[in-house]
Structure 1
Amino acid sequence: MEYDVRTLDPNDPETPAPLLRGYLEAVNRGFHLVRADSRGEDVWLRDVRGNSARLHGAWLPAGSFGESPVPVATVTSWDGELNTGAEVIDLHMISDVTVAPSSRRQGLARRLLSADLTAAAAAGKSVAALTVSEGGIYRRFGFGPATQVSKVEVDVTRRFAFDDFSSFGRTVVLEPAELGDVPSRVFAQWHATHRGSISRPAGYSSFTHGGWDWSDQAPSKKMRAVVHLDDADEPHGYALYEHGGWGDDHTVKVRDLASVSTEGELALWDFLAGIDLTDRVTATVRPDHPLAWALTDPRCVSAKGPSDHIWVRILDVPAALAARPWSADGEVVLGVVDALGLAEGRWAVSVRDGRATVTPSDAAPQVSLDVSTLGSLYLGVVTVDTLVAVGRVRGDADALHTWAAMSDGGPVPYSLTSF
């Protein structure tokens, strides 16, 4: 079947409204969400327009049975930023990858994703990223898991006590709608200083202010907010949370938490642990989260994970590698295999004083890998030796040792942003 493949521009007044509503319906259907009402449509349109998003889709051809404004496949992309640990670079962000069950295994996801990635590379983007609902799909498109998260459940009954840490400043409980620019200000400071951080799409404003919860397809009615102020009474961090209720579920679920310092993050945990009628607090945190180390009884913290979070795809090897930090001087000829051809080649990587110069090379590769593996190595979530051991990185022993010394090291990458 010849599908009608096109890209919608939500900011173009000539884009038919039924096609935009149909696109949203396809996304909600793909992620098993309830159908959006007019409020949900308005929120979604505001978000995709705020991102200047590109809405790629495939529709059944005109005149065929089942033809409608609802596409059978979608891929959404927009421009963002990534903190590589050395600098903040432009990032190609991808989301809403769906294919209707009736149109699977017809190459639609590959067609839409390949075209989108090729266009991003042509536009000068060096790195793309997405989050995934199924882990077995995206290596074939060149993506590799590049940051991780852990899910924790914290016992905040009488066992919960800090060892040496003492909270500072003060906290103020607010309605999310009263937060003003606190979430954006705190996140901007955090983003500028954390390797692996990704800028937040426009939709985060609706979420952090309680205006819309995409899971419920309605404004949030349970979420509360707390702001932590430092000793100068300036916003130092914030948390959004929901309590299980007056009944038996004495659980606080953290929906979002950010602070400009580790001490500020612990101060927010101190507040959350002290909420009345609360036995446990659950949250998604970075794998090297400090809470357990700050407690007298570290077994108060039960962790599940780490598991993959952000997946990275290298589009331009020289530009991407030049923008990340390096740990040791050295030279290696790197061979990259890429089924889409975007990053394919042999590259001479020369590192001096923590920065790399990368040029095309005619020499035989000393270290070889595929582009998805390079994506996993890019932010340092895994070591070269680990990927050598599992067969994802190959080469002669001396070159592998040099590549590991050059590539590994630095802080654990983490992103507060999901998309």
Structure 2
Amino acid sequence: MELDFRVLDPRDATLDPDVVRGWVRGATRGFHLPLVDDDRADLYARRYAADSALMRGAWLPAGSFGAGPEPVATLASWPGEVNTGSGLVDVRMITDVTVSPAQRRQGLASRMIGDELADAARAGFPLAALTVTEGGIYRRFGFGPATFRARVEVDVSARFSVEHPDDVGLAQEGRVGRCVIMPPVEMWPVVDDVFRRWHTVTRGSVSRHAGYQDIATGAIDWETQKPVDTLRGAVHLDADDRPDGFVLWTHSGWENPVGVLTVTDMVALSSSASLGLWEFLAGIDLTQKVTSYVSPDDRLRWAVSDPRTVKQTALDDLLWLRVLDVPATLTSRPWYGDGEVLVGVRDRLGFTDGTWRVVVRDSDVEVTRTDAAAQVQADVSTLGSLVLGGVSVETLAVTGRLRGDATAVRRLASMADGGDVPYCATDF
């Protein structure tokens, strides 16, 4: 059956609203979410329009049994930014990739992702990004896991105490700031401002889509598609009473003997703000345990008197990157040692296939295509994992994801490895 492939622009006032609503219902159906009504579907469309997003879909042909406004496959994308450690770089953000179980194994996802990547490359995006629900799918499209996040459970009973903040000078002067509880709906200007400031200085961070306002204010829960009336929030103020951090959370309720507080979003611009927010959370009544996602190198364990109060329960990938332009991507990230290496890239979609000469001198990098034989070889998905430095060259070499001359591998490691551990605090 020949399907009808279309790209919808929610900013187009001439679009049939029922078709846009059908697309939203098709996407939410793919993630087993509750059926959205017209008002909720229209909200989705407005948020996508605010992000200049495009909504790809495949529909059954008109007149065929089951045809209607809901597509059998979906994909959405919009322009965003990723912090590579050297600055903010344009990236095509991809989400809502779904295929109806009735149309599986017909190449729909391959076609739509391929079309999307081709459009992104033509538009000059050096990178594409997504987050995944299934880790075994997207390497074949050239995406590699680039950031990870740790899930922690923190025992905030009497055992919990912060022994000393990282900034001892501020602690000795007694200027470690304070927290103020606020309704999440009133916090949005602070949440937006603090995140934007954090995003500009945090390797691995990606810009947030317009729908984050609904999430941060409790207007909608993604899984239930309903407002969240249990969401609470607090802002951390620095020594001069300027916001430098925030936290949003829900609580299991006072009847639960465990007393579990779940952090839904927390961003801090300094170690003092981070520890101040943790002390605040630990002081909330009827709370025995706090769960949260943190950076893999989070310092809380080293700041508390009993490190066993901080238990890591999971380490998950979050941001996956796909390189579309090798020179633009590699020149946008930091480098840590001088050297030259010929890197061969295998890309079955053809965007980056070939051998690339990477030369670093005094932290400046030059990347050019060459016909010379490669000294190291990697799939483009491996290159995506290397962009942010979330994995070392040595790790990729010993696991076989990067192969080649041992001397060249060590040289590439001396050039590429280093810098901050990348961390992304944005789901999309």
Kept in 1: contact 2:188–2:213 (CA 8 A): no
User: Which amino acid is the alignment partner of residue 345 of structure 2?
Assistant: V
Kept in 1: contact 2:7–2:54 (CA 8 A): yes
Quote the offset at 1:206 in angstroms.
1.4
Structure-2 residue corresponding to 1:369: 378
Tell me, in whole angstroms, the C-alpha distance in 2 between the residues paired with 1:154 and 1:136.
31
User: Which amino acid is the alignment partner of residue 327 of structure 2?
Assistant: P
Does residue 207 of the first structure (1) align with residue 218 of the second (2)? no
Kept in 1: contact 2:48–2:210 (CA 8 A): yes
Quote the offset at 1:137 in angstroms.
0.2
Kept in 1: contact 2:21–2:38 (CA 8 A): no
Percent identity for Structure 1 against Structure 2: 51
The answer for unaligned runs of 5 or more in structure 1 is: none
Kept in 2: contact 1:369–1:394 (CA 8 A): yes
Tell me, in whole angstroms, the C-alpha distance in 2 between the residues paired with 1:290 and 1:343.
38
Structure-2 residue corresponding to 1:159: 159
SS at match of 1:128: strand
| Aligned with residue 203 of structure 2, among 195, 200, 204 | 195
Give per-residue Cα distances to partners, 1:210-234, cap 9 Å, x unaligned.
2222222122200001011111111
Quote the offset at 1:353 in angstroms.
1.8
Does residue 410 of the first structure (1) align with residue 419 of the second (2)? yes
Does residue 313 of the first structure (1) align with residue 322 of the second (2)? yes
Written as runs of structure 1 = structure 2, the 5 A alignment for 1:122-141 is 122-141=122-141
Tell me, in whole angstroms, the C-alpha distance in 1 between the residues paired with 2:395 and 2:179.
43
| Aligned with residue 263 of structure 2, among 239, 249, 254 | 254
SS at match of 2:85: coil
Does residue 351 of the first structure (1) align with residue 351 of the second (2)? no
Structure-2 residue corresponding to 1:229: 237
Structure-1 residue corresponding to 2:147: 147
User: Which amino acid is the alignment partner of residue 8 of structure 1?
Assistant: L
User: Which amino acid is the alignment partner of residue 328 of structure 1?
Assistant: G
Does residue 242 of the first structure (1) align with residue 264 of the second (2)? no
Structure-1 residue corresponding to 2:337: 328
Structure-1 residue corresponding to 2:224: 216
Kept in 1: contact 2:393–2:416 (CA 8 A): yes
Structure-2 residue corresponding to 1:54: 54
Written as runs of structure 1 = structure 2, the 5 A alignment for 1:8-47 is 8-47=8-47
Give per-residue Cα distances to partners, 1:356-378, cap 9 Å, x unaligned.
11011010001110100000111
Tell me, in whole angstroms, the C-alpha distance in 2 between the residues paired with 1:228 and 1:289.
18
Aligned length: 419
The answer for unaligned runs of 5 or more in structure 2 is: 166-170
SS at match of 1:179: helix
Structure-2 residue corresponding to 1:341: 350
Kept in 1: contact 2:396–2:402 (CA 8 A): yes
SS at match of 1:2: coil
Quote the offset at 1:81 in angstroms.
0.3
Quote the offset at 1:11 in angstroms.
0.4
The list of structure 1 runs, each at least 4 consecutive aligned residues, that deviate by more than 2 angstroms after superposition, is: none
Tell me, in whole angstroms, the C-alpha distance in 2 between the residues paired with 1:127 and 1:56.
19
Kept in 2: contact 1:40–1:218 (CA 8 A): no
Quote the offset at 1:91 in angstroms.
0.8
Kept in 2: contact 1:368–1:394 (CA 8 A): yes
Structure-1 residue corresponding to 2:168: none
SS at match of 1:160: coil
Tell me, in whole angstroms, the C-alpha distance in 1 between the residues paired with 2:26 and 2:103.
12
Kept in 2: contact 1:324–1:355 (CA 8 A): no
User: Which amino acid is the alignment partner of residue 190 of structure 2?
Assistant: V
Tell me, in whole angstroms, the C-alpha distance in 2 between the residues paired with 1:304 and 1:246.
24
Quote the offset at 1:327 in angstroms.
0.8
TM-score (norm 1): 0.98
Does residue 84 of the first structure (1) align with residue 93 of the second (2)? no
Tell me, in whole angstroms, the C-alpha distance in 2 between the residues paired with 1:98 and 1:274.
42
Tell me, in whole angstroms, the C-alpha distance in 2 between the residues paired with 1:21 and 1:383.
44
User: Which amino acid is the alignment partner of residue 71 of structure 1?
Assistant: P
Kept in 1: contact 2:25–2:41 (CA 8 A): no
Structure-2 residue corresponding to 1:270: 279
User: Which amino acid is the alignment partner of residue 179 of structure 1?
Assistant: M
Kept in 2: contact 1:131–1:311 (CA 8 A): yes
Quote the offset at 1:64 in angstroms.
1.2
User: Which amino acid is the alignment partner of residue 263 of structure 2?
Assistant: V
Does residue 177 of the first structure (1) align with residue 173 of the second (2)? no
SS at match of 1:94: strand
Tell me, in whole angstroms, the C-alpha distance in 1 between the residues paired with 2:4 and 2:162.
60
Tell me, in whole angstroms, the C-alpha distance in 1 between the residues paired with 2:58 and 2:271.
46
Tell me, in whole angstroms, the C-alpha distance in 2 between the residues paired with 1:399 and 1:350.
12
Alignment root-mean-square deviation, CA:
1.0
Quote the offset at 1:97 in angstroms.
0.4
SS at match of 1:332: strand
TM-score (norm 2): 0.96
Tell me, in whole angstroms, the C-alpha distance in 2 between the residues paired with 1:311 and 1:122.
20
Tell me, in whole angstroms, the C-alpha distance in 1 between the residues paired with 2:253 and 2:30.
31
Tell me, in whole angstroms, the C-alpha distance in 2 between the residues paired with 1:22 and 1:403.
49
Structure-2 residue corresponding to 1:114: 114
Quote the offset at 1:39 in angstroms.
3.4
* Cα pair distance change 1:180/1:397, threshold 3 Å: closer
Tell me, in whole angstroms, the C-alpha distance in 2 between the residues paired with 1:178 and 1:391.
50
Kept in 2: contact 1:152–1:285 (CA 8 A): yes
